[in-house]
Amino acid sequence: MAVHSIYAQISEGIVQNIMACDDYELANELTRASYGDDGFAVECNQYPCMIGDKYHDGGFYRDIEGEGIEIPIEYVPTPEQQVETLTVQNGNLQKEVTSLQLALVEQYEDNLVLQDEVTKTQLALTELYEGMEV
């Protein structure tokens, strides 16, 4: 259970500071008090952002070595979200394994039928061959 969250203080589209705070409203008030009316706070618990990163279009971005090339900072899922995702993937994989096992059983049964037909054909050919020797 999180007692507080981490907030990026944004002003002029740049992360000016990162702070821990009890709630969004307080974080937003502190940001406006520090950086003016255009400042605002953004919860960033799951983003590895740092001071100097950019924030626009609802996401964090990092400028690569001042070249003006921005790369998005990827969201890092919580352990709970990772477990949920892995649980779904595991369930899907189990269904796929079951489906493949059923397909293998069907193939095995088809092979048995073919093997039986081959055996019958061999017996018939043997009988024909033996009948020709007489």
Average pLDDT over residues 117-130: 90
Q: Which domain holds residue 64?
A: 5-72
What is the model's pLDDT at position 1?
A: 46
Same domain, 63 and 13: yes
Sign of the dihedral defined by the CA atoms of residues 107, 110, 112, 118, in that order: negative
Same domain, 62 and 28: yes
Same domain, 54 and 96: no
Same domain, 66 and 87: no
Same domain, 67 and 109: no
Same domain, 59 and 92: no
Which amino acid type is present at position 79? P
What is the model's pLDDT at position 2?
A: 57
User: What is the H or E stretch that residue 60 is in?
Assistant: strand 59-63
Which of the residue ranges 24-38, 86-100, 116-130 would you say has the lowest mean pLDDT? 116-130
Same domain, 62 and 9: yes
Same domain, 87 and 58: no
Q: Which of 38, 53, 72 is where one domain is finished?
A: 72
Same domain, 50 and 100: no
Full-model pTM: 0.63
Tally of domains in the chain: 2
Q: Which of 23, 54, 72 is where one domain is finished?
A: 72
Same domain, 28 and 51: yes
The model's pLDDT over 68-104, given as tens digits with 9 standing for 90+, comes to 789 999 999 988 999 999 999 999 999 999 999 999 9
Same domain, 133 and 82: yes
User: What is the H or E stretch that residue 36 is in?
Assistant: none
Same domain, 57 and 101: no
Burial pattern 12-28, b for ≥16 Cβ within 10 A else e, equals: eebbebebebeeeeebb
